[in-house]
Amino acid sequence: MEIPQLMSEQYSQARQIIESSNDIKIYSHIDCDGICSGAILSTILDRQNKEHEIEFVNLDVLDNLELDHELTIFSDLGSGQSVDAKAKKGQKIIILDHHPPLRDLDYGEGKDYTYLEINPLHHGIDGSYYVCGGGLCYFLSKEFGYDDLSWIGVLSAIGDMQNTSTGHFEGLNKIIQQDAIDGGYLSVIENDINIYGRNTRPLFIALSYFSDVKLPITNNTNETMAILEELGIDEKHNRKTLNELTMEEKGKLYQRLSGMISKVVPGRYVKYIPQLIIGDSYTFIKEDPNSFLRDASEFSTAMNACGRNHEERIAMEVLKGDRFLALDELETVSRDHRRNLAQSIEKVTSDENSNIIELENLQYFDGTGIKPEIVGTVTGMILGYCNWKKPVIGFTQTDDKGLKISLRCSRLLSYDGIHFGHIIRDIASEVGGTGGGHSMACGAYIPIEKKEEFLELFNNILNDKLTN
């Protein structure tokens, strides 16, 4: 895939707008993709000697936003919000977003302010798997000649799970990947065992987090240790990481995992089993070999940890090159984040009867007390304790009047063609809220009194959609 001609012309226009502007504000999302997007844009403006402000925000603050700058840039958000509602004559707006847009491609025509929205969906390009917010921002940096930011584009795509459908990058993401390889920033092992923590977690622990399908090894380190010892690829007194396995040992592990999964999934899912286990692995070769920044998945998790704890500045400084003070701060944030997640998961799962309530077509838990910023991560980790054949929804309060909702599901459900991001957006809107996201990971904000109505509508709309 190549960048369509019209999209390329949009990037040229975006460059001209930036070059002619001096009072600039960036708004970007708080997740890994958003932080990477903001870091790329900030680096562009630094190199162009453009003074600028940057703010990382949640989606719910964007509607009816006051615009106080000559140029406002929105990255990894903006397409689904009314960001120009208070735009004044002569102001300039650039949106670089891959989420479903509210406005058409020609929306900016005839306005008394400049409006430029670069969204892959306007050009027939899938924004869930072919390019994300950071990728869009990278192509803008490439317009300025800054190809060296390609590795951040790769990191943003990993953080946005753009490779989860097939296990490798597709579409415009392949261009970014190749730029990073050619620049000496990235190495890729194709069709590797795709398990998180390849550098830093002992394999028996990493395997216990497998949650797309609930297996005997899920949340069971005793079982993972026994299996690895039985296969002869791990020893009781010499625990290995995934990176330390030979290709032969990885082959043995693949065969065992494949056999375990095939016993518990309906027959029509068997063809997808390789995609649950196998995928490309991404290594940033300029990072210290012993650092968690070396592996793209672990790096992206650290970026998300900062976003969930209102420490986006630390993440951005690391992305912009600080490997001293900011990296120390990043390690502290990551450690605290892991502790908060563990406490939150225990809160939901430790009850003898469990706090997870199962309905006909979905399951949910009340996460009251869990920070809204991490309820999505907690929901994803709760999958390992749930019925994988249904999506799981987590609720937590944002204040006295509102609820934050997060949904996660097994990748197998996305292979059925269900896009939960579209469903949650429609239902949230019906009950007076907002929502959206990806097919397997999405969220919403709704009025607190609409919780039961939301659940009923969601459960009903999935009738005949789940075929398990």
Specify the pLDDT at position 108: 95
Specify the pLDDT at position 236: 82
Specify the pLDDT at position 467: 67
Tokens standing for 92?
């300039």
In a domain, 98, yes or no: yes
Range of the domain at 294: 191-345
- Dihedrals phi, psi of 297, to nearest 5 degrees: -65, -40
Last residue of a domain, one of 161, 184, 207: 184
In a shared domain, residues 250 and 149: no
Tokens standing for 84?
């120009």
Tokens standing for 333?
């944030």
91 vs 73: CA distance, rounded Å? 11
Strand-pairing partners, residue 394, are 365, 406
In a shared domain, residues 221 and 321: yes
Ordered strands of the 71-75 beta sheet: 52-57, 24-29, 71-75, 92-96, 114-118
For residue 177, which of 196, 159, 150 has the smallest C-alpha distance? 150
Q: Where are the alpha helices (DSSP H) in 359-450?
A: 375-382, 411-415, 420-430
In a shared domain, residues 79 and 226: no
Last residue of a domain, one of 120, 154, 184: 184
In a shared domain, residues 19 and 88: yes
In a domain, 235, yes or no: yes
In a shared domain, residues 275 and 396: no
In a shared domain, residues 285 and 405: no
In a domain, 467, yes or no: no
Residue type for position 398: T
Query: Do 137 and 75 contact (CB within 8 A), yes or no?
Result: yes
Specify the pLDDT at position 363: 96
In a shared domain, residues 299 and 373: no
Query: Do 417 and 399 contact (CB within 8 A), yes or no?
Result: no
169 vs 198: CA distance, rounded Å? 19
Q: Is 29 helix (H, G, I), strand (E, B) or coil?
A: strand
In a shared domain, residues 427 and 284: no
In a domain, 20, yes or no: yes
Q: Residue with structure tokens 């989606």?
A: 59
In a shared domain, residues 258 and 327: yes
17 vs 336: CA distance, rounded Å? 41
- The helix (run of H) or strand (run of E) holding residue 231 is helix 221-231
Tokens standing for 240?
């290995």
Q: Residue with structure tokens 């996201």?
A: 437
Strand-pairing partners, residue 296, are none
In a shared domain, residues 199 and 180: no
CATH number of the domain bearing residue 102: 3.90.1640.30
Nearest 10 degrees: Cα torsion 346, 347, 348, 349: 40
Specify the pLDDT at position 200: 85
42 vs 341: CA distance, rounded Å? 30
**Cα R_g (the chain), whole angstroms:** 22
Residue 450 CB partners (closer than 8 Å, separation 6+): 403, 431, 432, 433
Specify the pLDDT at position 468: 61
For residue 444, which of 376, 357, 370, 363 has the smallest C-alpha distance? 376
Specify the pLDDT at position 465: 85
In a domain, 266, yes or no: yes
Q: pTM for this one?
A: 0.89
For residue 394, which of 411, 372, 412, 414 has the smallest C-alpha distance? 372
In a domain, 323, yes or no: yes
Specify the pLDDT at position 237: 80
Domain count along the chain: 3
In a shared domain, residues 80 and 179: yes
Tokens standing for 305?
């940890």
CATH number of the domain bearing residue 410: 3.10.310.40
164 vs 157: CA distance, rounded Å? 10
Tokens standing for 152?
């951040």
Other C-beta atoms within 10 Å of 121: how many? 17
Query: Do 229 and 236 contact (CB within 8 A), yes or no?
Result: yes
Other C-beta atoms within 10 Å of 35: how many? 34
In a shared domain, residues 94 and 155: yes
**pLDDT tens over the chain, length 468 residues:** 899 999 999 999 999 999 999 999 999 999 999 999 999 999 999 999 999 999 999 887 888 799 999 999 999 999 989 999 999 999 999 999 999 899 999 999 999 999 999 999 999 999 989 999 999 999 999 999 999 999 999 999 999 989 988 889 999 999 999 999 999 999 999 999 999 988 889 999 999 999 889 999 999 999 999 999 999 998 888 889 998 999 999 999 999 999 999 999 999 999 999 999 999 999 999 999 889 999 999 999 999 999 999 999 999 999 999 989 999 999 999 999 999 999 999 989 876 556 899 999 999 999 999 999 899 999 999 998 999 999 999 999 998 899 999 999 998 888 888 989 999 999 999 999 988 878 888 999 999 999 999 999 999 999 988 866
Last residue of a domain, one of 184, 205, 224: 184
In a domain, 466, yes or no: no
In a domain, 468, yes or no: no
